[in-house]
A and B are shown apart, each in its own frame.
Chain A
Amino acid sequence: MQNNFISITDLSKDDILSLLHDAARFEANPNQRLLEGKVVATLFFEPSTRTRLSFETAANRLGARVIGFSDPNSSSTSKGETLKDTIKMVSNYADVIVMRHYLEGAARYASEVTNVPIINAGDGANQHPSQTLLDLYSIWKTQGTLDDLDITMVGDLKYGRTVHSLVQALSFFNPRFHFIAPDLLRMPNGYRDFCNRHNLYFDESEVFDVNAIANTDILYMTRIQKERFSDLREYEQVKNVYTLRNAMLEGSKPNLRVLHPLPRVNEIAYDVDENPKAYYFQQAQNGLYAREAIICRMLNIDLK
């Protein structure tokens, strides 16, 4: 791994495991002033309050200062400045750049025009590797391992980048995948090919019921995202198909945990929230520790 955090596909198995161990250290002690005197830039060319707050909190808890913008309309991008020029300019000020962009590949490109480490906080529908790391951390922490797990992914498997990246990242750990989605939103060909090339077991179904949950270790629910549809009639057709209700978790494995990248709409009923198997709020909190680990890794901070 170079000093950029662009795509989960850049990470080796060892990179992933050592970042997870670092994240565990930050969970034990989130406030460590390891970045005193450092400046972290957060450039959000596309608004994402949740991700930005998580990164900025991580930077603050590490003792860094934060600069940046949360809305591209307030930056010179709106005056027509190229991405390259913006990155070059900010590179003069910051020790590390966290960026979110609506264009796919923007973070990789940014990493080519600067020597300042780039952390990709989401590039369109492509990658969102810090989300993947916090997903992995949540699985690792709740299951005690990443190896040999049954992972059931439900909902929008076509446009959901979190599930795509998770499939790629888990390929090191011999998972068994169960993809449950309406035909319109099934796992794309490229990722099914990926599983075949890596000899990963997977099955596919359109049926989401008690049987689909019975033998799984991780139930990864996803939101069917309205903004990914060009045809809103398609959205109306599929949005209510896959909803998890508390009663469906009866008889599931005791170690089962329900994950969701949030925000949810109606794919998890509110009566699930009180079930100890619901893990999505802690999952979001884990994002803080994962991002502290990522920022420190990019700055070559030695964790004792």
Chain B
Amino acid sequence: MSEKKELEVSAIKNGTVIDHIPANVTFKIVQILDLYNHPGAITIGTNLDSITLGRKGIIKIADRYLSDEEIGRLSVVSPDVTLNIIKDYQIVEKKYVKYPKQIIGVVKCTNPKCVTNHQPIPTKMEVFDMNQKSLRCIYCERVMQYGEIELL
């Protein structure tokens, strides 16, 4: 990471840095991880210069480490992000998004007749095709492309 970027978004002592976020989904990640309710400091940068992405986003979450389930949720919007685990200002581990078996309660089913849109139950999606980036509702069996996905 260049010195200039360190200046743009200040460092955290302990926590998680989500980097290499495509700029257009930065705020979707805020939503998908429900960071609105995180009590600690959060730094959100977006439209930052990036050599590989052109414009990228970065989210620094102080004093929070993500569970595998939470990291799995990121597969829906930005499977290529990097997660830096920070302890005492140092990157102690890098994590990458793994496609989870099921994604529960994050994505709305696009089928208006799906039972999850009418009964008080969380949605349950499985990754249908990683290459074509699609999910399948385990209830109504509708296959939806990542591009058409709406978050709950």
Q: Do A and B bind each other?
A: yes
Q: How large is the interface on A (under 10, 10 to 19, 20 to 34, 35 or more residues)?
A: 10 to 19
B119 touches A82 (CB 8 A): yes
CB pair B115–A104 under 8 Å, yes or no, is: yes
Q: In the complex where A82-B119, A83-B119, A190-B143 touch, is A108 in contact with B138 (Cβ < 8 A)?
A: yes
Name the B residues within 8 Å of A9 (CB-CB).
141
Asked if A103 and B115 sit within 8 Å, CB to CB, the answer is: yes
Closest-CB distance, B124 to chain A (whole angstroms): 9
Contact flags B95-121 to A (C-beta < 8 A → 1, else 0):
000000000000000010111101111
Mark contacts of B109-137 with chain A using CB atoms, 8 A cut-off: 1 yes-contact digit, 0 otherwise: 00101111011110000000000000001
Q: Which of B113, B115, B121, B139 has the most CB of A within 10 A?
A: B115
Nearest A residue to B109, CB-CB: A105
Partner of A127, one of B119, B137, B141: B141
Q: In the assembled complex, which residues on chain A have CB atoms less than 8 Å from the CB atom of B140?
A: 103-105, 123-124, 126
Asked if B143 and A105 sit within 8 Å, CB to CB, the answer is no
Q: Which residues of B contact A270 (CB under 8 A)?
A: none
A148 to chain B, nearest CB (A): 28
Q: Could you tell me if B113 and A109 are in contact, using CB atoms closer than 8 angstroms?
A: no
Cβ 8 A contact of A103, one of B113, B138, B143 = B113
Taking a contact as CB atoms under 8 Å apart, the answer to whether A105 and B120 are in contact is: no
Chain A nearest CB from B132 CB (Å) reads 9
For A82, list chain B residues within 8 Å (CB). 119-120
Q: Does A88 contact B (CB under 8 A)?
A: no
Which of A84, A101, A105 makes the CB contact (< 8 A) with B141?
A105
Docked complex Cα distance between A108 and B125 (Å): 13
* Minimum C-beta distance from A44 to chain B (A): 16
A103/B141 in contact, CB under 8 A: no
What's the minimum C-beta distance from A160 to chain B, rounded to whole angstroms?
15
Whole-angstrom CA separation of A85 from B8 in the bound complex: 54
Nearest CB of A to B147, in Å: 15
CA A127 to CA B138, docked complex, whole Å: 12
Please name all residues of chain B whose beta carbon is closer than 8 Å to the beta carbon of A101 when the two chains form the complex. 115
Query: Residue on B with the closest CB to A102?
Result: B113
Q: Does A106 contact B (CB under 8 A)?
A: yes
- Per a CB cutoff under 8 Å, which of B113, B121, B143 touches A104? B113
Q: For B121, what are the chain A residues with a Cβ–Cβ distance below 8 Å?
A: 84, 109
